[in-house]
Amino acid sequence: DSGVTQTPKHLITATGQRVTLRCSPRSGDLSVYWYQQSLDQGLQFLIHYYNGEERAKGNILERFSAQQFPDLHSELNLSSLELGDSALYFCASNSFVGDTQYFGPGTRLTVL
């Protein structure tokens, strides 16, 4: 158990819908990273937040957005969902930006 929690574990929804994925970092960690794992793209970095501020963006679609709240948990919002958004979404956290990243169990999103 890495200490990073993600909810929900599974999510099934329809095209065009909007979902919110939630991540709670390890106690004391200020950084949260989001990654997407899909069959065709592999594991891709989406976005990084540090203490409430966006630090870096990767291959994140404009339909996707994220935020980190004052209690340090983070949410990834996915809207206008398409079949190709079906994937495993992981968040990771670390205590300082150069530290090892510890991953949560992931949220499996299925878009029908």
Partner 1 sequence: GEDVEQSLFLSVREGDSSVINCTYTDSSSTYLYWYKQEPGAGLQLLTYIFSNMDMKQDQRLTVLLNKKDKHLSLRIADTQTGDSAIYFCAERGATNKLIFGTGTLLAVQP
Applying CB under 8 A, does 70 fall inside the site for partner 1? no
Number of residues binding to partner 1, judged by CB under 8 A: 22
Applying CB under 8 A, does 73 fall inside the site for partner 1? no
Segment contacting partner 1 (CB under 8 A): 13-21, 48-56, 62-70, 75-83? 48-56
Longest dimension (CA), the chain: 38
> How far is Cα 50 from Cα 32, in angstroms, rounded to an integer?
6
Applying CB under 8 A, does 27 fall inside the site for partner 1? no
Report in angstroms how near the CB of residue 58 gets to partner 1 at its nearest. 6
Q: Do you know the residue count of the chain?
A: 112
Q: Which residues bind partner 1 (CB under 8 A)?
A: 2, 33, 35, 42-45, 48, 55-56, 58, 90, 92, 97-98, 100-106
